[in-house]
Each structure stands twice: as structure tokens, then as C-alpha cells.
Amino acid sequence: MSQLRIRVLLGLFIVAGVISWAGARLWDSVGTLPGVPVAAPIVLALIAVVLFATALSLRSRLKAQRERRPGAKGVDPLVAARAVVFGHASALVSALVAGLYGGVGVFLLTDQLDVPARRDQAIYAGVSVVAAAAVIAAAFFLERVCKLPEDEDDGGPGAAATSR
């Protein structure tokens, strides 16, 4: 499995942000812009907490396993792989969602902020972007926790396939 790349996440964020900003301008000129749901930052924050808690749990179990503590519960490789896949998927979707709400938030900031409803929507969009960034940070932390140590010998079989 490949590692998360900041460039890919930034690209998704920027493309989604530009498209949503343009879409918000178009939609607002035609009719009423739909609101940013209040639940958006809450759901993103919950996903970040789940990812972070999973990473902490796996980290403590892996540490106990490495130190060969008596009664240490090992980590099933499939569980770790599933956690990393969940983290990757969450990071990619969060980059898209952050771009979506970021574009809408920028549109709302350049529009009339003296209208309380628009100001509230801009705040919800900003908090959603911050919560999505927390999901991405938690996904990177989870990936770091579950990363296998590098091979000691560089000339062994498969060394060329694993090093990039």
C-alpha cells in the first residue's frame, strides 16, 4: 500500500475548493445557496477522534509487543491494514470535503458578512475545514504508527521492490 501524499491531498483540496467556490457563485446568482450543515464539523471531528484513538491503541499494543511484556496482546496484521485503509480513505474524503467547504467559506467571506445567516454559514464552513484537517492529521499519525520498520539489509531479495 502506498503512503499518503501531501501533494495529492492538497491537489484534491484546491480543485474541490475552486469548483465549489465557482459553484457557490453560480448557485447564489441563480437562487439561494444551500447552507453548510451544522453536523458537518461534528461528524468530521468524530472521525478524527476515532482515527486518533485507533492509532493510540495500536501504538500501545505494538509497543507492548515489541518490549515482549507478559500478557501483551498482539496486533493482527489484517486489523492494522484495515485501520490504515480507513485512515487513507478518510484523509482523501476529508481533503475533498475541506475543499468543498473551504470554497463555500471563501465565497461567503467575500459576500455579505453583515447578514447573520451568512456569517454563521461561513463559521460552520471554517470549522468544517479545521475538522477535516484534524482527520488528515490523525490519518497521517495512524499511518506512522502502523508503518513497518525498514529492512536492515539493503541487498536482500525484494529490497528493490520495497524501496522507492
Sequential pLDDT tens for the chain (164 residues): 678 899 999 999 999 999 999 999 998 888 888 888 999 999 999 999 999 999 999 998 888 877 777 777 777 888 888 999 999 999 999 999 999 999 999 998 887 677 788 888 999 999 999 999 999 999 999 999 988 766 444 544 544 444 44
Domain assignment present for residue 92? The answer is yes
Q: Please give the tally of structural domains in the chain.
A: 1
Domain assignment present for residue 164? The answer is no
Domain assignment present for residue 156? The answer is no
Domain assignment present for residue 72? The answer is yes
Domain that holds residue 96: 6-28+35-148
Domain assignment present for residue 1? The answer is no
Domain assignment present for residue 68? The answer is yes
Q: Which 3-state string (H, E, C) describes the chain?
A: CCCCCHHHHHHHHHHHHHHHHHHHHHHHHHCCCCCCCCHHHHHHHHHHHHHHHHHHHHHHHHHHHHCCCCCCCCCCHHHHHHHHHHHHHHHHHHHHHHHHHHHHHHHHHHCCCCCHHHHHHHHHHHHHHHHHHHHHHHHHHHHHHCCCCCCCCCCCCCHHHHCC
Domain assignment present for residue 163? The answer is no
Domain assignment present for residue 162? The answer is no
